Every structure is written in C-alpha cells, then in structure tokens.
Amino acid sequence: MAGEVRKITLIPGDGIGPEVAGAARQVIDALKLGFEWEEAIAGAGAVEKYGTPLPEETLESIKRNKVALKGPVTTPVGTGFRSVNVGIRKALDLYANVRPAKTMAGINSRYTGVDLVIFRENTECLYAGIEHMIGEDAAESIRLITRKASRRIAQRAFEFARQTGRRRVTAGHKANILKLTDGLFLEAVREVAANYPEIAYDEVIVDALSLRLVVDPTEFDVLVLPNLFGDIISDLCAGLVGGLGVAPGANLGDDAAVFEAVHGSAPQIAGQNIANPTALILSAALMLEHLGYTAEAARVHQAVTAVISEGKWVTPDLGGTATTTDFTKAVVQNL
Ligand code: NAI
C-alpha cells in the first residue's frame, strides 16, 4: 500500500485532544507521504453542532477511509452523552484493542528491555453491558464470552506475532474458576495456536500473570486476554514502562482501524500547550505500520526516543519545561 495517496480521518477530540492531534499530524506531515486529512468531529463540540456526540458523518468518514487518528474525547460522568469511544468501537466492530508497552530511554521506569504487546478483546466479556437489578439490593452482570470473538482476537495476536517475528503468545485467563467462560476462551485460543506451530504458546492465570509482569515483564512477549482482564493488564503494563503520557494504542476491526493514545482529555491542562503528545505520535506510528510504512514508523519512533532521551525538549509530565510545540518541533527535526 506504501506510495499511494490516501485519506485519513482525523478526530481532534476535546480537552488536550486538538493540541496532541495537531502535534501528531505535524509529525506525519513532515514525512511527506502525501496523506490527506479529513477532519471529523466528535464529543461535546459535536453535540453543540449536530445534537449527538458521534455524528453519522464522522462514522461515515472512518468507514470510507478505513483509518482514523483520534484525539481523546471527554465523556461526562453519570448524565450526558454516551461514550464516543464505545460508540465508535461498536459501530465499526473494532474488536481488537492493541497496546504495545516498551521501555524507552529517558522515561522513568525501573525496568529495561520491556517489549510487550497486549491484545485485548474489545467487544464482550463483562463490558457487553448486560446488567440488571435483582430487587433493590442485588445487581447482576452477565459475562458473555463467545467462540467467535475469542478466535478472532487470538487470530490477530498470532498473526501479529508471525508477521513481526515474535516468538511467544501468552493467554491470560481465570479458567480455574470461570470454567465455562474462560474455558471457552482458552479452547478458542488453543485452536488458533495450533495453526502457528513456530510460535510458542502458554497460558497463565491472570493473578499470577500480574505478579510475574511486575517481577519481570521481560519474560513476556505477546499477551492475549478477554476484555476486562485485558483492560486491567494493559494499564498495568503502561505503568511498567512510564505511564499514560507515552502509551499508544490501536483499535482494529476487519474493515477499519482507529489509532489513539491511551490517556484521556486531561481537561485540567487543556489549552496550555503543555500536554505531552508522545502517546498520540506513537499511535500515529502504529498507524503507519498498519498502512505498510514500516520504515517511516521506525523513524517516528526513533525521533521520539531521541528527543525524550536527550531530555531538553520534554514536557512537564516528564520533568521538563518544554511546550507541546517545542517537543513536536524537536521530534520533526529528529526525523
Ligand atoms: P486523563 O488521562 O485525561 O488524565 C489523567 C492524568 O494524566 C491527569 O493528571 C492528566 O493531566 C494527565 N495526562 C493525561 N494525558 C496527558 C498528556 N498527554 N500529557 C500530560 N499529562 C497528561 O484521565 P481522566 O482525567 O480520568 O479523564 C479525563 C477525561 O478523558 C474523561 O472525560 C474521560 O472519560 C476521558 N477519557 C477519554 C479517553 C479517550 O477518548 N480515548 C480515554 C480515557 C479517558
């Protein structure tokens, strides 16, 4: 696909979203790949203009272009509109949440050499939202696990391992207790694993997995987990390598992909030009990889690493005094 002119949907989001999205766009533009950005709106701004946080136009744009780069969007707690992120994920069936966790020079972490990629199932498990009250004093939530969803997340994880030369996939689970649901999850992952004999496969109970990740995260390579465990383990892994400000992510389906940072809209620091755009710039690098621009993705990664390890132009969250603009400029210069 490399070499084609292509359109990418850009959702700036709100809070620090427009600042970090602008930074990521600037870095990608500096590569001169001839991308065209199609800006689309979501969140509070969209409610004012369209009466909904996730206008049909925005979804149509992603469907048409198949790829989007998205800044964070504020989700009001309690009342107000439903989560834009969940809305996008559901509408486009983005069933795989992929989160790399890699140590980077210059970022405070007590580990070195961590290079993990987490594949979290993104559509079911306890997050299917099948809940109800039983009378007034009890509530029940149904944990839905299907063979189809478990197989396709496993397929993504193993295919990624094969294509990137990784050696091992580990499934995290609680099948010792959740015998039917996680039992089915493991059965599906094993079926997929059988098609990848060159990749080692093992299974670790999720509580032991948490412990082993904290003791020595370099022990692991690719992790595949059902939704809830995947959510928790991926934040844990972000913490192992330096926190939210530097954690990129991707939401992949069969027909579309949305790349976004793990962090939120950080309203307290919005508009001050001090947000760290690293996570979204690295998410844009994941997008480049997805589009087949592997060398360019590596250049972005190296430029970000160079600026962070030099330490001169880093933002306050990383202990520096530079602005978002300064950091971005330095990354562009290092490309
Ligand atoms: P948050 O990630 O926005 O902020 C947590 C802490 O990290 C804050 O102290 C913030 O200032 C800091 N922080 C986050 N990103 C940063 C960056 N790039 N540079 C420097 N500091 C950064 O999480 P919070 O406060 O729980 O959520 C705020 C809003 O964002 C909520 O409405 C939430 O629903 C939404 N959110 C949206 C997401 C998305 O659109 N993908 C993901 C997570 C939260």
Residue 157's pLDDT is 98
Shared domain for 167 and 289, answered yes or no, is no
Specify whether the CB–CB gap between 174 and 227 falls below 8 A.
Answer: no
Q: If you average pLDDT over residues 309-318, what whole number do you get?
A: 94
Mean pLDDT of 279-284: 98
> Given 240, 267, 299, which residue is the final one in a domain?
240
pLDDT (tens digit per residue) in 101-153: 999 988 888 899 999 999 999 999 998 878 999 999 999 999 999 999 999 99
Query: How many domains would you assign to the chain?
Result: 2
pLDDT tens string 16-68: 999 999 999 999 999 999 999 999 999 888 888 888 899 999 999 999 999 99
Is residue 1's pLDDT more than 80?
Answer: no
**125 shares its domain with 77:** no
From 240, 258, 289, the end of a domain falls on: 240
Q: Looking up tokens 């970000």, which residue turns up?
A: 304
Q: Which pLDDT value is given to residue 4?
A: 57
Of the listed ranges 138-152, 203-217, 242-256, the least confidently predicted one is: 242-256
- Same-domain status, 234 and 174: yes
Residue 3: pLDDT over 80: no
- Examine the domain organization and report whether 117 and 227 are in the same domain: yes
Task: Flag whether pLDDT at 210 surpasses 70.
Answer: yes
Separation between Cα atoms, residue 184 and residue 108, nearest integer Å: 39
The answer, yes or no, to whether residue 216 has pLDDT greater than 90, is yes
User: Angle at the Cα of 241 (from 307 to 243), degrees rounded to 5?
Assistant: 85
pLDDT of residue 243: 79
* Any ligand 1 atom below 6 A from CB of 245: yes
Asked about 207 being catalytic, the answer comes back as yes
Q: What's the pLDDT score for residue 83? A: 81
- Arithmetic mean of pLDDT, 226-253: 93
Mean pLDDT computed over 177-194: 98
Q: Percent of the chain beyond pLDDT 70?
A: 97
Instruction: Please say if 127 is a catalytic residue.
Output: yes
Domain shared by 180 and 215, yes or no: yes
Distance 266 CA to ligand 1 centre (A): 4
Q: Are residues 213 and 233 in the same domain?
A: yes
On whether both 217 and 121 belong to a single domain, the answer is yes
Ordered alpha helix ranges (H), the chain: 17-30, 44-50, 56-65, 84-91, 147-163, 181-193, 206-215, 227-240, 278-290, 294-310, 324-334
Same domain membership, residue 323 and residue 277: yes
Tokens representing 61 are: 């744009």
The closest residue, in CA terms, to atom 44 on ligand 1 is 264
Give the model's pLDDT for residue 127. 83
Residue 2 has pLDDT above 70, yes or no: no
| Residue 120 and residue 222 in one domain | yes
Whether 221 shows a pLDDT value over 60: the answer reads: yes
Confidence of residue 13 (pLDDT cuts 50, 70, 90): very high
Nearest protein CA to atom 8 of ligand 1, as residue: 266
Which residues form the domain of 225? 110-240
Distance separating alpha carbons of residues 129 and 107, to the nearest angstrom: 37
* pLDDT tier at 242, thresholds 50, 70, 90: confident
Told to judge if 29 belongs to the known catalytic residues of this protein, a careful annotator would answer no
Pair 229, 126 in one domain: yes
- Reference 198, options 159, 253, 148; nearest CA is 159
245 C-alpha vs ligand 1 centroid, how far in Å?
9
Nearest 5°: CA angle at 267, between 261 and 270? Answer: 85
Is the CB of residue 83 below 6 angstroms from any atom belonging to ligand 1?
no
For residues 264-269, give the mean pLDDT.
95
State the pLDDT confidence band at 79, using cuts at 50, 70 and 90: low
Is the shortest distance between the CB of 269 and ligand 1 below 6 Å? yes
CATH classification at residue 175: 3.40.718.10
**Would the pLDDT of 78 be above 70?**
no
Name the residue of 69, 73, 99, 265 whose CB sits within 8 Å of the most ligand 1 atoms, as the mutation to test its pocket. Answer: 265
In the residue annotation, 137 being an active-site residue is answered as: no
Substitution candidate for ligand 1 out of 73, 84, 263 with most atoms within 8 A of CB: 263
139 and 236 fall within a common domain: yes
**Residue 76: what pLDDT?**
72
The pLDDT of residue 161 is 97
Contact 16, 266 (CB under 8 A): yes
pLDDT reading at 98 higher than 80: yes
Segment 304-325 mean pLDDT: 95
Q: Which of 95, 127, 201, 293 is catalytic?
A: 127
Q: Which of 240, 266, 283 corresponds to the end of one domain? A: 240
Q: Is 235 in the pocket of ligand 1 (CB under 6 A)?
A: no
Catalytically annotated residue among 29, 202, 207, 216: 207
What confidence score (pLDDT) does residue 140 get? 95
Judged against a pLDDT cut of 80, whether residue 80 lies above it is answered with no
pLDDT of 282 above 60: yes
41 and 58 part of one domain: yes
